[in-house]
Amino acid sequence: MAKVNEIDSSSINILGPGTVVKGDIHANGDFRIDGSLTGTISAKGKLVIGATGSVEGEITCQNADFSGYVKGKVSVSEMLSLKSTAKIIGDIIINKLSIEPGAQFSGSCNMESGKPNTFTQKSED
């Protein structure tokens, strides 16, 4: 039996094409969206937004592949891949980012490694 805080890799959830959900989703495993979500989604595994998928709201996950439309704040603790058909409007906070040619992104990007960043500025004396 899996612990509550562990990622359930056998749990694969799908929001199919033509399906519309308004509300919040919390998943202990992977999640794929080919329909439409208005609200927040939190997935402990990988989040895939297919070419026909759209999300308007806040996204939090471990890894993500976006091919569809996203509007809102995105936080990915490991790797975010934007495929050529992806259109992102909003701020992203990620560890690693991969962008294919053709992907559209409008917003700010903050890359963090999971640890607080400390920057030192050299004085110009």
Which pLDDT does position 12 carry in this prediction? 79
pTM: 0.81
Number of domains, the chain: 1
In contact, 17 and 35? CB cutoff 8 Å: yes
H-assigned helices in 22-101: none
Instruction: Domain of residue 18: give its range.
Output: 12-98
Which H or E element spans position 14?
strand 12-15
Token look-up 């990620």 returns 94
Residue 79, in any domain of the structure: yes
Strand order in the sheet with 104-106: 20-22, 36-38, 54-56, 69-71, 87-89, 104-106
What are the CB-based long-range contacts (under 8 Å, 24+) for 88-91?
A: none
The predicted-structure confidence for 66-106, as pLDDT tens digits, reads as follows 999 999 999 999 999 999 999 999 999 999 999 999 999 99
The predicted-structure confidence for 26-75, as pLDDT tens digits, reads as follows 999 999 999 999 999 999 999 999 999 999 999 999 999 999 999 999 99
Longest dimension (CA), the chain: 62
